[in-house]
Structure 1
Amino acid sequence: MPPRLFACFGKPHVHSSAATASAEDQRGAVLVELFSSQGCATSPEAELLVSRLGRGDFEVEAPVVVLAHHVDYWDYMGWKDPFGSSQSTVRQKAYVEALRLDTMFTPQVVVQGRSQCVGTDQDALLSAIASAPKFPSPALQANFQRPSPDSLQVLLSGALKMKVEGQANVMVALCENGLLTDCLKGENKGRVLSNDFVVRKLEKLCTVKDISAKKTVSGTVNFSLWQGFTSSKCGIAVFVQNSAHQIFGSQNILLPDNM
């Protein structure tokens, strides 16, 4: 690999449908975030590991909510990651600063916004999940609407089920599974790359400050959709994050198949 600053180590009608959170137990879910790129030779190995984690292939002490953020700083290598975004790069940079790391690299996993490891290190990943602080998962209910063929509106309401001291943001990620890409150039040239839990959109639902665990929060997020959007392959992840980028609860919500 070349010398670098970064190191490389997985319609026109309105349709309304309601959904509730998938079952996360009372210990609460742990948010696992992978930062990767299709332009990084070792990211596919990490993508596979994180996909297996999200599918439940490993025995872990708590449920997990998995997000795969594709960064864009490897695009110069000859292959532009179709899922890469500057938003993902900015999010990773914020973790680098919060965790006081020397540099950004892929693949990297961040757990609960508090610890990190190389994305291919299965033992380190499972250890980080086991030792991560656990918080009750929010109990938000979702109502989905399609105000236009290229947009999705998500109305969320419910209790965060945790006391928030100070200020925190409630974030909503729209994710897609089962993505296959023929990689024609770059370090993964000739490979068919498989990606799950890919963050296609990430928006803020609301900001909360000094609220009780029983306090109901509500809000609406609007996602612009991409060509080929298929609701059966997608879901949303909701998580609460403070100004230090630490996670205080997360939950998964599936999209209805007929959206």
Structure 2
Amino acid sequence: MAPRLLSCFRSSSSESKHEEKETTEEEGEPGPVVVELFSSQGCATSWEAEMVLSRLGRGDFNLEVPLVLLAYHVDYWDYNGWKDPFGSTQWTVRQKAYVEALSLDTMFTPHIVIQGRAQCLANEPEEILSCIASAPRFPAPSFQATFQKPTRDSLQVSLTGSLRTKVDHQGANLMVALYECGLVTDCSDGANKDRVLANDYVVRRLEKLCSVNDISAKKSISGTLNFTLWEGFNAAKCGLAVFVESPSHQIFGSQKIRLQGNL
């Protein structure tokens, strides 16, 4: 039996009717749309959604909209015979915050959230594409990044740039996600027993660079983060996503940054 208020769905979809009034003013061309997937290797249908996410990243759907793709592996299916090696309570908490912000009745996998505003089942490409097409877009932040490795097990990221979106008195958080692609797992137990699972855009670390309020779109911002690295870290398979997030988790701009391959 699944935990209370948790579900693992194969089909059907929904989109939140909750919509918060936007409180920012944008400058510049529209930037990427953030697509966040909540999945688990312990869910029998999440592997289908992972394939859709990878196809989005490859450009298989010929979208004209640039995307920032992030996959969060929740840990509430770990009880079911297989512990997801990428699962984290931190990602379960993030999904729960969306459930509350979007006035949903339950947590489930696979689950897609678009720009922090709309949501649907993640194994239905048509619904995902529809949500992407109708999502509001905002200018991409214009950050430059420099990287250092103070130790073998840590990565220091220094960012300097501007949000290119005005933030009012309600404030916003500037978030930085470190993600990894090209992961392959031979699943030996659980709902996906004997299946080889491929995962891309897996969020390994998520940190807040800073909180801001009452600043202009062109205001210069800088900061440094230190990420603890995992065994087998390969910079060539990783990237950074920078995004501006309101207190209610709506996203008002995002940017992708490549890691230097020689790290």
Report the TM-score range of the alignment, normalised by the length of the smaller protein: over 0.9
Measure how far apart 1:249 and its partner are: 0.4
In the TM superposition, residue 58 of structure 1 has moved relative to its aligned partner by 1.4
Q: 1:115 aligned to 2:118?
A: yes
SS at match of 2:98: helix
The offset of 1:118, in angstroms, is: 0.2
Residue pairs, 1:1-150, within 5 angstroms = 2-5=1-4, 6-9=6-9, 26-150=29-153
For residues 182-213 of structure 1, give each alpha carbon's deviation from its aligned partner in whole angstroms, at most 9, with x where no partner exists: 10110000001000000000000011101111
Which amino acid is the alignment partner of residue 100 of structure 2? Answer: E
Distance 2:215 2:234 in 1: 36
CA distance in 2 between counterparts of 1:192 and 1:244 reads 37
Q: Distance in 1 between matches of 2:104 and 2:202?
A: 24
Partner of 1:182: 186
1:159 Cα offset (Å): 1.0
* 1:228-239 correspondence runs (5 A): 228-239=232-243
Q: How many residues align structurally? A: 243
| CA shift for structure 1 position 56 | 1.5
Q: CA-atom RMSD, angstroms?
A: 1.0
**TM-score scaled by length of structure 1:** 0.92
Is 1:246 the counterpart of 2:226 in the alignment? no
Residue 199 of structure 1: aligned partner: 203
Query: Relative to structure 1, is the Cα distance of residues 214 and 80 closer, same or farther in structure 2, using a 3 angstrom cutoff?
Result: same
Point out where structure 2 has 5 or more consecutive residues left out of the alignment.
Answer: 10-27
Point out where structure 1 has 5 or more consecutive residues left out of the alignment.
10-24
Do residues 156 (structure 1) and 159 (structure 2) align? Answer: yes
Partner of 1:20: none
Q: 1:23-48: per-residue Cα shift (whole Å, max 9, x none)?
A: xx922100000000000000000000
Matched, 1:220 2:224: yes
3-state SS of the aligned residue for 1:248?
strand
Instruction: Confirm or deny: 8 A CA contact 1:27 1:62 kept in the other structure.
Output: no
Give the AA of the match of 1:217. Answer: I
One-letter amino acid matched to 2:224: T
SS at match of 1:210: coil
Give the letter aligned to residue 84 of structure 1.
G
Q: Give the superposition deviation at 1:3.
A: 4.6
